[in-house]
């Protein structure tokens, strides 16, 4: 491996590693300040991760995190902050549950139908923010935050409506979906069942990488995110790309709730998991918008959530994991900026050294052509 490639790899790994180490150190400081053992909680959580049933829970949780983070990452690559993933996936899950409870088709048709409904619902909700941004210049951050609140109210209203809601004790649901829409899982025996939709999440990551890195559309999207004016000068319709990115981000967000909806609960209720969208922001940041990085970050986040539940039995607050997650988000932003500046400085030094070496080799007479060649590299 070339020296330059090694430096790029080290720079890519330095940010998340520094963030994780800083988060662990700061969390340990919090534990010491509260009079607790700063090491034992980590030992307990790592011990939990060795149990097969906890591993199944971690994988299932990571699948939902992964899809939510991919939705956020699509916006990030376009320099858009889709903070509305939370509302998009919850609304998509509710609409999908309603369709699944009222429409019954063979599994080969029912499951694709439900997936399409979820993606279209998420895209529609994100598209509202995209249209407001491209036609009225409304910030997508403000628009998606407001749409999150509206989605929460719409969901609450519809689940209480007699045409959609089905009372179950003190809770209201959309009714149990027809079994033809249940997504088959991977049976792990006594350890439980891995959601089959986790495989769909992995395929979504592969498609995300292919589209962004191997297609003209992906290049245009990244170019517009880097500089709208430069992209427009090369013939790219910046406004159309903004709207398209929001639609794709919303469509992916619509899938985030399907692993548990199609693989476990088979209905939408007011106790349906919330907060996946906001968790996805931290995961996308930690994973640097890379499908592999996001996968690793999703597993880490799921590990912190599921393994920390055992801390209650040992006299520790499981909120330790929440503190650590928050510290990771803060540390990752700081560490990535520090690594970026250090990498830029190293690049400038390397170019300067190459120019100086080329000038010495060429002598004073032929310096110009040599300098141009090095600068071009």
pLDDT means over runs of 10, the chain (377 residues): 61 79 88 86 90 95 97 93 95 95 94 97 97 94 95 86 64 87 93 95 96 90 83 84 95 97 92 92 91 94 90 81 86 81 79 80 59 53
Q: Both tokens of residue 167?
A: 């009372």
pLDDT digits (tens, 9 = 90+) for 244-295: 999 999 999 999 999 999 999 999 988 899 999 999 999 998 898 999 999 9
Look at residue 375 in the predicted model and tell me its pLDDT.
52
pLDDT digits (tens, 9 = 90+) for 295-326: 999 999 999 999 888 888 877 887 888 888 88
Q: Both tokens of residue 236?
A: 């790219």
Which residues have C-beta within 8 Å of that of residue 313, sequence separation ≥ 6? none
- Name the pTM for this structure: 0.88
Q: Which domains does the chain have, with CATH numbers?
A: 37-315 (1.10.3470)
């Amino acid at each position: 491996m070339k020296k330059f490639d090694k430096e790029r790899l080290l720079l890519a790994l330095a940010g998340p590693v520094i963030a994780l180490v800083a988060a662990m150190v700061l969390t340990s400081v919090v534990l010491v300040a509260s009079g607790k053992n700063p090491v034992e909680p980590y030992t307990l959580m790592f011990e939990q991760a060795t149990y097969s049933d906890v591993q199944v829970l971690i994988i299932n949780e990571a699948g939902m995190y992964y899809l939510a983070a991919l939705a956020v990452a699509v916006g990030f690559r376009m320099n858009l902050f889709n903070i509305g993933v939370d509302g998009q996936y919850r609304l998509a899950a509710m609409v999908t549950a309603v369709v699944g409870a009222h429409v019954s088709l063979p599994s080969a048709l029912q499951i694709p139908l439900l997936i399409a409904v979820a993606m279209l619902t998420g895209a529609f909700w994100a598209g509202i923010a995209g249209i407001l941004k491209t036609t009225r210049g409304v910030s997508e951050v403000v628009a998606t935050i407001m749409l999150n609140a509206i989605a929460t109210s719409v969901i609450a209203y519809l689940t209480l409506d007699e045409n959609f809601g089905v009372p179950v004790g003190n809770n209201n649901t959309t009714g149990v979906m027809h079994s033809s829409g249940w997504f088959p899982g991977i049976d792990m025996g006594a350890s439980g069942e891995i959601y089959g939709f986790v495989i769909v999440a992995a395929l979504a990551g592969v498609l995300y990488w292919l589209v962004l890195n191997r297609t003209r559309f992906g290049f245009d999207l990244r170019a517009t995110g880097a500089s709208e004016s430069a992209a427009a000068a090369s013939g790219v319709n910046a406004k159309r790309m903004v709207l398209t990115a929001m639609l794709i981000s919303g469509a992916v967000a619509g899938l985030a709730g399907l692993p548990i909806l199609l693989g476990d609960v088979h209905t939408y209720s007011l106790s349906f998991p919330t907060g996946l969208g906001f968790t996805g922001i931290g995961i996308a940041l930690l994973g640097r918008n890379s499908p592999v990085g996001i996968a690793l970050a999703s597993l880490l986040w799921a590990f912190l959530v599921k393994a920390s539940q055992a801390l209650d039995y040992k006299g520790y607050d499981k909120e330790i994991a929440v503190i650590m997650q928050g510290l990771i988000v803060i540390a990752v932003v700081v560490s990535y900026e520090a690594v970026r500046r250090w990498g830029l400085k190293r690049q400038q030094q390397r170019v300067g050294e190459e120019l100086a070496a080329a000038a010495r080799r060429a002598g004073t007479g032929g310096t110009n052509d040599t300098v141009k060649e090095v600068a071009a590299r």
